[in-house]
Structure 1
Amino acid sequence: MMKFTKQNFIFLVGGIIIYVVDIGVDFWVASRYFCQGQYCWGILLLCFRGLSSLITQVFSYEWFKNDWEGTNTGKLKWIFLVHLFQCGIFIRYWFALKYGCQAAFKQKSSRDASETDPPNFIQKQAVDAVTDINMLRVFKTFLETTPQLFVQIYILMEHEKNNFCQYAAIISSFCGISFSMVDYQISLRKSLPDKDEFRVLPKLVYLLYKLLTITSWILSISLITLLSVRSSVILLLFLWICGFTWTLKQHTTFCKSRKMEYLYRTVVGIILIFTFFNIKGKKTKVCISIYYATHTVVTLGILFVYMFWKTSIIKEIHFTIVSILTILSLVLGIIFLVVYYRHFHPTAYCRPQACSDEVDGEAGQKDRVKIGRFQNFIMQ
């Protein structure tokens, strides 16, 4: 049975603190750019935050509406008003703290308790509440935090003068990505049936795999942006079209409404620009190999192009450092990827007696009710 422990509650409280600090850092960094007369950078950072907040609020309200279908409409109107003012995530944190406190400190469940027993029910409520938050944080990571990291690294590479504000934004972005990735994988293990506990070593390997491959790719995109902003925009747009098209071909069924499903596929297309995610729970050895092989070829191509233009755009010493970091993080990231998938990845997405390779498959209808939204979410 899924368990919500005291350690999970402590991490939940830490997540709230990090979320609030991240908001403060974003507005502080943007205000610094405005004070320095760099209005474009300040507006761009705020646009990333605004877009991320808008999309996460839309999904959060839609999930509340689905969960509370047929209940008091007055409560839903109040929830809508809170989301309209971009504060829906705090409502979700309140529910998570409420259920999490009951599950971790006040409930005592027996080993042979059934799913309908109050202790088990509270445990499930706590896990589901935190899972929803972590799904929203995945959206936030790739709609806001990762693009902000790209912008900050680009600014550092473009300008000679560096300041504490830029380093604070980069550190904040790295922390946001790290916590989001680990929390997401923990929720995946808790929400899917018959999964091993996500221990310290698998967490570290998964974190390094994601963080290093994303860092390498962001450095590569930053380099091509220095060479030509237009080329960078065209490349990112092309990658999004590829990711969105692949998502369409997978026939995802995450949302109940057609409009929300297309919004979900659009967001997943953006996520696929930066990292690979398995959106259907199928075996993806071929897909992930093609994905990172393509990233490797593009990265090496960008570095090769820079060998001819580096003297006029970026200092040789800077190019040498960036190219070494790019290649090193890519190689190490792929090594950790192989180690994770070979030794720590939860390869089965269903119970043995109801084996179906697809997450949406007919086998496992009984588990689908227990698992909830994560059953049709990005599964990696």
Structure 2
Amino acid sequence: MMKFTKPNFIFLVGGIIIYVVDIGVDFWVVSKYFCQRQYSWSILILCFRGFSSLITQIFSYEWFKNDWEGTDTGKLKWIFLVHLFQCGIFIRYWFALKYGCQAAFKQNSGGDASETDPSNFIQKQAIDVVTDINMLRVFKTFLETTPQLFVQIYILMEHGKNNFDQYAAIIMSFCGISFSTVDYQTSLRKSLPDKDEFHVLPKLVYLFYKLLTITSWILSFSLITLLSVRSSVTLLVFLWICGFIWTLKQHTAFCKSKKMEYLYRSVVGIILIFTFFNIKGRKTKVYISIYYATHTVVTLGILFAYIFWKPPIIKEIHFTIVSILTVLSLVLGIIFLVLYYRWFHPTAYCRPQACSDETDGETEQRERAKPGRFQNFIMQ
């Protein structure tokens, strides 16, 4: 089992700071729009925030119920009350800081010990609680941050105003996407057995792959929204339906209840609108090729549609710049994707261990070890 290190703790603190600042920036932008009497944008941003918070609180509370099954019901009532007021994530951050500090600064256990070894208990607790947070942040990223980024870029392209608050919101959105994607992949490596450490170079390649492909897709959607809002909404709904149906066909088993499983599949359908995820941990060469080939065709189709119709809402020079950025980010994103999956992706998942290298006690401990929730989560 990998260890929770001091750099991991620093990233955890940084994630908390960005989370709090992101909330402040959201309400600041909303207040600015209200003052400018742009009520529709304010309501839309608040809807993204509210919907994301509701979904993450539901999953967070369900995970607390699953993890604390058989414990005092009084604790669960307090946990429910905190989640009802949309503050459940802060409880998880408190546990993360508590166990993370102990694991990073006070534990010196060996890395080869079993997860059930008492000396590694704090390490496992720290990794598990941070993993849960990063899972929730992935939900938040694609339910709130990415749609907000799309809205902010659309407003910027439509009105052409250089407002500081808009740039601040865009920067915070990119920071949120960056931290959540990298932290998610780091947690994946730590939580699943026999994964290699996620070093700096793979992190950068993975980060650029995600950011560039998502940026290209958001710019494309901004263009089609300027062309026709109805067409944009129709395309989004169609892509969500395709993602949801594909998720159904994968027969995911992430949640204990059927209702939560369908909610999970619905959320994954939204995530698949913006980026690719392998929800079953299988080989993805065919799926990911189809996914990004479709993105490329749709992106080029949107650009050609703009060239054909030439809507007056956007200046030609602006369209040229956006088109170059869209194509360039898509090409570079796919290049980084190929680099990541060719040289940095952990292709060996749960490598078999030689039985002769384990004592009977170690074998029993491995069999009794409870599998982490992350093994049922979307695995890339």
**What is the TM-score with the length of structure 1 in the denominator?**
0.95
- 1:280 alignment counterpart: 280
- Once the two structures are superposed, what CA deviation does each residue of 1:306-352 show, in whole Å capped at 9, x if it has no partner? 00222523111000000000000000000000000000001122223
- 1:83 alignment counterpart: 83
C-alpha change, 1:80 and 1:262, in structure 2 (3 Å) is same
Distance 2:231 2:321 in 1: 23
Preserved CA contact (<8 Å) 2:79 2:88:
yes
C-alpha change, 1:112 and 1:375, in structure 2 (3 Å) is closer
C-alpha change, 1:129 and 1:111, in structure 2 (3 Å) is closer
Distance 1:368 1:260 in 2: 26
- 1:312 alignment counterpart: 312
Preserved CA contact (<8 Å) 1:368 1:375:
no
Preserved CA contact (<8 Å) 1:277 1:378:
yes
- 1:270 alignment counterpart: 270
Distance 1:111 1:335 in 2: 35
- 1:250 alignment counterpart: 250
- 1:177 alignment counterpart: 177
- 2:25 alignment counterpart: 25
Task: Report deviation, 1:36.
Answer: 0.4
RMSD: 1.4
> The residue matched to 1:352 in structure 2 has which SS?
coil
Aligned ranges for residues 194-273 of structure 1 at < 5 Å? 194-273=194-273
- 1:127 alignment counterpart: 127
- 2:40 alignment counterpart: 40
- 2:341 alignment counterpart: 341
- 1:154 alignment counterpart: 154
Task: Report deviation, 1:86.
Answer: 0.3
Task: Report deviation, 1:117.
Answer: 2.9
- 1:92 alignment counterpart: 92
**Worse-superposed segment, 88-97 or 308-317:** 308-317
Preserved CA contact (<8 Å) 1:310 1:319:
no
Provide structure 2 residue ranges, at least 5 long, that are not aligned to the other structure.
355-364
C-alpha change, 1:290 and 1:114, in structure 2 (3 Å) is closer
Task: Report deviation, 1:369.
Answer: 4.1
C-alpha change, 1:14 and 1:313, in structure 2 (3 Å) is same
**What is the TM-score with the length of structure 2 in the denominator?**
0.95
> The residue matched to 1:17 in structure 2 has which SS?
helix
Preserved CA contact (<8 Å) 2:195 2:350:
no
- 1:7 alignment counterpart: 7
Amino acid at match of 1:125: Q
C-alpha change, 1:326 and 1:76, in structure 2 (3 Å) is same
> The residue matched to 1:231 in structure 2 has which SS?
helix
Distance 2:135 2:52 in 1: 13
Preserved CA contact (<8 Å) 2:253 2:261:
yes
Amino acid at match of 2:315: K
- 2:51 alignment counterpart: 51
Distance 1:260 1:368 in 2: 26
Task: Report deviation, 1:112.
Answer: 5.6
Amino acid at match of 1:324: I
Q: Kindly tell me the number of residue pairs found equivalent between the two proteins.
A: 370
- 2:329 alignment counterpart: 329
Distance 2:55 2:38 in 1: 27
C-alpha change, 1:251 and 1:25, in structure 2 (3 Å) is same
Q: In the alignment, does 2:97 pair up with 1:107?
A: no
Q: Percent identity?
A: 88
- Once the two structures are superposed, what CA deviation does each residue of 1:98-125 show, in whole Å capped at 9, x if it has no partner? 1111111112213564433332011000
- 2:358 alignment counterpart: none
Amino acid at match of 1:123: Q
Runs (4+) of structure 1 moved beyond 6 Å?
Answer: none
